[in-house]
Each structure stands twice: as structure tokens, then as C-alpha cells.
Amino acid sequence: MAGAMTRRALDRLADQLEPAYQDMLPVWQEAVSLTRPTRAKWFAHPTRTDRRNPRVLRPIARSAGNIAEAGMQHGTASPARPWISLGVDALRPTPLVTEWLEEFTDALLLMFERSNLYDQMAATGRDALDVGTGAMAAWDDDETLSRFESLPIGSYRLGNDRTGRVNAITRSWTMTVAEAAEQWGKEQLSAASQQELQRGNYGTKLTIRHRIAPTSAWPAWDDPHRNLEAFPWREVYWEGPDATTGGRRDGQDVSGVAIRVGDGVLGRGGYHEFPVLVDRWSRASDDEYGVSSPGIDTLGLNGCLQSMERMYLEAVEKMNAPPIVGGPGLEDSPVSTLARALTIDTQATGKETLARPLFEVRTPVQYLDEHQERYAREIRDLYYVDLFVMFAGDQRADARTAREIAAKLGEKSAMLGPVLQRRYDGFVAPLVERASGQMIRRAQEWWDRGQDAPFLRQPPEALAGSRIRVKFTSEIAEALKLAGLAPIERHMAYRLELGQQLPSALDGARAKIDALLEEHARLSGVPQRLIATADELLAIRRADAQAAQRQQRIQEVESSARATRDLAAAQVGDGNALEAMVAEGSS
């Protein structure tokens, strides 16, 4: 049997993701120092003094980030309205399939609402705003099916696959020995950690490391029962380096060893989907992390803003409490230009021996104010604040129509189009895929017994082999779709206007009216269940045609009856017109 892999060898595997992390670390540290220093966790210097924020005097970027965070979360995934809709690749799914997909959508949204998704998703999106990258894990949970955890920047390292999607992560965090023993069992801890427990030092801190990577990126596994064979991704938890090892790696060759639990290797497992969802604001094809974001783009502006605020405060202080100069009768003091400082003028005579200002400060603080406001506006613009509060400054008295508001929102949202597309493709779509897999696997336990799960009934057979696709129906997603409505509406308005003068201009619209209305409904976000299918339209029109034929026959019978009554009532000679017509016909 192969030898067991040591913790030091696992550290060496994990450190393969370190170079890309180190490239971005200086940028992140600068960005969070000006926005949210308490969010990051730099494990190279895990002290609270590193998390203070003495540099920020005007937290414009922080307040702008708060608005952008709330607007982005509300616009992309809000519990107040459905923001996803599941469908299949078939152009015309059967009503049974459509009904089940709607139930599946409702079940997912209910799971999201009962879990901690929206809180953790907002925190992850804020990381992407501030430092360009946010990461959130979706763990299995017995109660809510899925439990989400936003991972602070600095606590993880990422790796990409050949398509640029994140497929590997190494993360670190601290736990007490008591917490580690409770989660994994004290027999799995290292000898040093077990000694700490025996001595009663339950609060001793451990650095826990965790690596998730594709199965192909791991060495051999000691898995006699083949419990992990079916998982495309596998994970290992272990105790990281501490002060006793000095962070050294023993350089063990991993080619002839297997991963077994024990001696500080705390646990292992597997996943059907990659459980960590990464939100990257802007990236190149080979970047593991986002290289641009509002927080990164405003680093220079934010620094200038804080510098000018210090100049402003210093100028105001010297104007209100200037440095003082006096004669030799005053206590001895060197020359100082600090506010409230006292300098002795040994050459002073007469009135000059009295205390007086060393110099008058006449700083044009209004110009500092103007420059600061310009910097603040540019920071807010780069955080897209106007997108989320764009109606706040509109003081028109007349009410705006829903179409006007929607058009304005769609125009503003177009500026975020590429960012939103990356967020949907790289973060939200994998989130839905992961949550769907978790729900299906849990429901399968009931389905295998021939029962419907409490949260989801068995899918119809017609769905077998179909690929389920996700459509996003959030507020911003729908606003972006409104751009596609404008050409349709302009075209129809032109046809109707032209049709008043040239009726044949409406022929094309009549021929394609069903397709036009269906496309209009789709772009407007109308649920699929409210859009009539071609068969339903055909049945309705056949019924209308049959009803029109019956009505026409009834009208013909009524018209014939009226004519008969009129003939019978008309007097012709000794008889009536009806008798005359009958007699004429029989002759």
C-alpha cells in the first residue's frame, strides 16, 4: 500500500495557486484599506491592528459601494420577485413539462429564500465591486438543502480550467482545537493539537487549510470502499503550518503516497459540482482573479480625496488656531508652524513682545471643496451610483409612465451589460446549477422509493434526456431585454400609421401577428405559461370559426322566418302574399 501523504506535502500542493494570488495582493491591500479593511483576512499578518482604517477621512467609496451593492443585489437576485425561470431546449415543451419546470423554479426560489443566500450573495458582490473578485461557497445542508458562505478576500487562492472557469480553490481560516475536534473528531488531529486538548487549552488557534480540485489534480487516494469514485471534484481538510514548523515544507514526493485521514489530515470528500461560485468584475482570458472593478479603478481618486481632506482640515485648523509667536518673556520654545504652537521671538521689542500669530493662513478652502466634490462625483460615477438612484434627482411634477421608467432603466443598465453578462455566466448560472443539483439529489432519495419529495414531485418522462436551461428574469435582466422591444414597437407603429393610407401595408403584420406578439411577450418577461401555444391558438380559432358559422346559420334562419312572416302578413286580393306565391308555384 502507498504511504500516507503528510500535511507538508498537502501544503506544497496548495501553494501551487500562490503566484497568481501574490500578483494581486498589493492591489487588494490598497483597495480594502480605502474601502472596507475589516472585510479582508490576510493570513500573512493575522493581527487586528492591520485591519484598522486610519487613512479614510471621507468614506465616499464606502457609501458608493453600499448603494451599488444594494442596487446590484436587488437588480440581479431579489427575494421580492422571481429572478430565474427554468426551461428546456425544445421549442414547444409539452404542458406537463412546462408545469413541472415552473414547480422546480418555485422550489428553488423558496429554497433560496429560506437559506442565507441573499445576505451572502450581497457580500460576495460587494467584494467584486471593491477588489474585482468575490467568492461564495454553496455547502450541503440537512435543513435548507444548501448553506452559503461568502469567503473574505485574502482567505483563498483560485485556479482556472482551460476555458477560464474557476475549478480549484485553496482556502485558509482559523479555528480553536475544540472546534476542530468537534467537527472532525479529536483522533484526526495532529499529535500537537491533541496534546493541547489534553492540557485543557481548548482556545488554542489552528490554521485550517482546505483544497478543492478536480480528481485528476490529486495523487492517489486510499479509498478501498470507492466512496469518492463518482465525484468530479474532491476535497481535503488539514492542519496548516504553525509556529512550531515555521511554515516549512518537507518536500515529500507525492507520486507514491495516498491521502488518508489522520495525523492532522482532518477529512476528505467529493462534489458533483464545483461548490465555490466566483464573481469576477472584469478579467482577461487567463486571469484567475478580476483585474478591474470600481474599487480598483478609483484607487487614485480615493487617495487624492483623502489627501485633500487632510489638507482642508489642516488649513481650517490653522485658520482657527494659528501658530503663535511671542517675546522673550514667554517660555522658551523652538519655532513651530503647527496649529496652536508657540514660538519665542528673542529679537522682539515693544508691542512685538505680545503674543501674535506667526503668519496668517489664507488657504482658499473653497477650491479644496470644489476639487473634493469633483473627486467624489467621479468615484460615484465609477461605482454606477446614478444607475441605482437615477430617479432621486428628477423633480418633475408630472408622473412618469411605466414605459418611460422602463426605457430609462434599460438605457442606464446597458452600461453594465458586459459586467452583468459575466456575473450571470460565471456566478449566477453556476449558483443555480449547484443548487439544482443539490435539490435533485435530495429529492432522488424519495423518487427511488416511488414517492414524490415534499419539496418537488417526480419529473415527467417527457423531460428525460432534455437539457434544462436557465433564463434570468431579474429587474436588470428584464430592463436589458427592453432594448429588443423598441424595434418591434416602432415597426408596428409605422405599419399601423401607413395602413391608414394604404390598407395593404397591414397584410404583413396580419400574416406574422402571432410571432410578433409572442416575441413581444417573451422580451417583456411574460411567463411561458401565459403565452398560448400554436395548438391552443388553432383550437381557439377553430372554435371561433365554428361559432361564427352557427351564428350565421341562425341569422339566415331568422331572416327566412321574418321574410315568411312578412309575406303572410301582406294582403294580396282575397289572400296574402305567401298564399299567392304558393299558388303560383303549384300552377
Q: Taking the C-alpha atoms of 418, 422, 425 and 429 in order, what is their torsion angle to the nearest 10 degrees?
A: -110
Cα distances (Å, whole numbers) of residue 457 to 108, 140, 329, 446, 461: 13, 20, 95, 9, 12
Strand partners, 235: 212, 269
- Enter the pTM of the model: 0.76
| Amino acid found at 226 | R
Give pLDDT, residue 107: 95
C-alpha 20/C-alpha 366 separation (Å) is 45
Give pLDDT, residue 565: 72
Give pLDDT, residue 525: 63
C-alpha 268/C-alpha 473 separation (Å) is 38
pLDDT band at 169 (very low <50, low <70, confident <90, very high): very high
Give pLDDT, residue 160: 94
C-alpha 57/C-alpha 47 separation (Å) is 23
Phi-psi region of 525 (alpha: psi -120 to 50; beta: other; left: phi over 0): left
Q: Answer positive or negative: Cα dihedral of 22, 23, 26, 32.
A: negative
- CB atoms under 10 Å from CB of 5, counted, come to 26
pLDDT band at 482 (very low <50, low <70, confident <90, very high): low
Return the residue matching grid coordinates 487567463. Answer: 286
C-beta separation of 74 from 81 below 8 A? no
Q: Of residues 98 and 132, which shows the higher confidence score?
A: 132
Q: What is the pLDDT of residues 518-538, one digit of tens each?
A: 766 766 666 666 677 667 777
Q: What is the pLDDT of residues 12-42, one digit of tens each?
A: 889 999 999 999 999 999 999 888 877 887 7
Return the residue matching grid coordinates 413539462. Answer: 97
Least confident of 28-42, 238-252, 377-391, 484-498: 238-252
Give pLDDT, residue 245: 39
Give pLDDT, residue 558: 76
Per-residue pLDDT at 273 exceeds 80: yes
Question: 472 by DSSP, 3-state: which?
Answer: strand
Give pLDDT, residue 243: 36
Q: What is the pLDDT of residues 445-473, one digit of tens each?
A: 999 998 999 999 999 988 887 888 888 88
Q: What is the pLDDT of residues 305-361, one digit of tens each?
A: 988 888 888 877 777 666 655 555 445 555 555 655 666 656 556 655 555 565 666
Per-residue pLDDT at 252 exceeds 60: no
